[in-house]
A and B are shown apart, each in its own frame.
Chain A
Amino acid sequence: MGISFSARKVFSGFTLDASWDIGNELAVIFGYSGAGKSMTLQMIAGLLTPDEGNIVLGETVLFDSGRNVNTRPQKRSIGYVFQDLALFPHMTVAENIRYGGRGIEKNEQEERCRELLRMFRITGLEDRLPSQISGGQKQRVALARALIRRPGALLLDEPFSALDMPIRFEMRTMLKEIQQSYHMPVVLITHDVDEALAVADRMIVYSDGRVMQAGSPEEIFLSPACEEVSSLSRFAGELRRSVPFPGSELCGSTT
């Protein structure tokens, strides 16, 4: 299992041209706002169509411009957690979670819903509306909803950015546990260096629609491929300051 992404898209004057591969691991796409991170997730989920390229999840080709393959988002088996969580405001917590279980037999759906409520420690909130629960609880509901179908991959578009620090720490730990227990590739977008360091097995650094560098967090922060990556990771504190900037390499090559 893993994701292979290679796509080019010109959209409203912005060009995204990126390629990367990840295995069954937790990958963090890291970069400033407007670097093309969200566009990348939307392309993997099928919400945005690349002009050209190919996207593969495990053995399944989701998109291939050469072979005219473009699987609909409904058929991609991908869990997606949006930045604003996109919980349905007219549905209760339980209804939101069960809504993600389309195609699953009703009893099984109920069982999985109860299991997820327990796992995310939100049992007792089943009948509440999203407007009646806290930010951290909403995060858990959004994760539970994305996971009820047991997708082949999980994509998260900066879902923790609006949370208080203690809850963010808790959610990061939970995300690592999810990746390990579900054995699937997880892609998290963030522009928070600490968050990237805390959870990433692999980091993909984006800038201006291109992949600047991809590798383990240690490789990114200890051996930045270029000044742009170095400046992005400037806030990594002692870790970054202890290593001199190599400086001479060219940026922009994709992995």
Chain B
Amino acid sequence: MDGSSWFSLRLSLQVAAVATLMIVVAGVAIAYLLAMKRFRGREALDMLFTLPLVLPPTVTGYYLIVLFGRNGLIGRPLHEATGWTVMFTWHAAVLASFVVALPLMIKTARAAIESVDRNLINASYTLGHSKCETALRVILPLAKKGIIAGAVLSFARAMGEFGATLMLAGNIPGRTDTMPIAIYSMAGSGDWSRSGVMVAFFTAVSGVFLYVANLYSRRTT
């Protein structure tokens, strides 16, 4: 692999790591809310967060441009206030990966939290512990394996994110060309040998991640 390939690999890892960190924090909080709280619109909220899992990534990318583009609902006031736009930066790749991979964490973590025995939660309450303490000391430790499996799956998905990333971050060599985008460019320009190496590398890495995720999923059940 040459210098540009290594850059793409490093960028992909960087994007996936930052996105996964954000996914763990937001995903666990949303999963906890969906699993433990009864409120109107709960399933509608679940559907909203799950949509990127079934939508074509380009559709998700379109929505993200509508929201975060320079003239977007959030992007315009942000640009007016700071002069900064997320579009065509590596942050855009993080945003795209975050939105596309978040449902994997929510689904896995919600199932893990819902599987925690209700009596253990009630026991914690009768022993004087608040809902927050119970979440931190009983529910999340017992749902830990499901959360780790969700994080691993999310990382793998974030590494492989292409469609929404291309629409938001573009394909700027040396700036926003993550590994999947670089493979697309190389294959498009007929550079099969370099793209082949990256494809093989990517396949191996994804295989390892799936193996680890399966390992944790099995231990959860």
Q: How many residues on B have C-beta within 8 angstroms of the other chain's C-beta atoms?
A: 17
Contact of A84 among B119, B130, B142 (CB under 8 A): B119
Contact B127 A102 (CB under 8 A): yes
Contact A73 B141 (CB under 8 A): no
The secondary-structure label for the interface of chain A is loop
A5 interface hit (Cβ, 8 Å): no
Find chain B residues with CB under 8 A from A145 CB: 127
Q: Considering the chains assembled together, what is the distance between the CA atoms of A145 and B128 in angstroms? A: 12
Find chain A residues with CB under 8 A from B205 CB: none
Contact of A99 among B117, B119, B137, B142 (CB under 8 A): B137
Mark interface residues in A67-94 (1 if CB within 8 Å of B CB, else 0).
Answer: 0000011111011101010101110000
Q: Considering the chains assembled together, what is the distance between the CA atoms of A27 and B174 in angstroms? A: 76
Find chain B residues with CB under 8 A from A86 CB: 117, 119-120, 122-123
For B131, give the chain A residue with the smallest CB separation.
Answer: A74
For A72, give the chain B residue with the smallest CB separation.
Answer: B125
B10 interface hit (Cβ, 8 Å): no
Q: Considering the chains assembled together, what is the distance between the CA atoms of A73 and B122 in angstroms? A: 9
Contact B119 A74 (CB under 8 A): no
Contact B142 A89 (CB under 8 A): yes
Q: Interface extent on A, as a size class?
A: 20 to 34
B126 interface hit (Cβ, 8 Å): yes
Find chain B residues with CB under 8 A from A102 CB: 127-129, 133
Residues on A lying within 8 angstroms of B by beta carbon are: 45-47, 72-76, 78-80, 82, 84, 86, 88-90, 99-100, 102-103, 145-146, 149
Q: Considering the chains assembled together, what is the distance between the CA atoms of A73 and B126 in angstroms? A: 5
Q: Considering the chains assembled together, what is the distance between the CA atoms of A78 and B126 in angstroms? A: 7
Supplied contacts A86-B122, A89-B142, 10 more A-B pairs, CB within 8 Å: A46-B125, A73-B125, A74-B125, A76-B126, A84-B117, A86-B117, A99-B124, A99-B137, A100-B127, A145-B127
Contact B128 A82 (CB under 8 A): no
Contact A74 B117 (CB under 8 A): no
Find chain A residues with CB under 8 A from B129 CB: 74, 99, 102
Q: Considering the chains assembled together, what is the distance between the CA atoms of A74 and B126 in angstroms? A: 5
B138 interface hit (Cβ, 8 Å): yes
Find chain A residues with CB under 8 A from B142 CB: 88-90
Between A88, A100, A102, the greatest number of chain B beta carbons within 10 A of the residue's beta carbon is seen for: A88
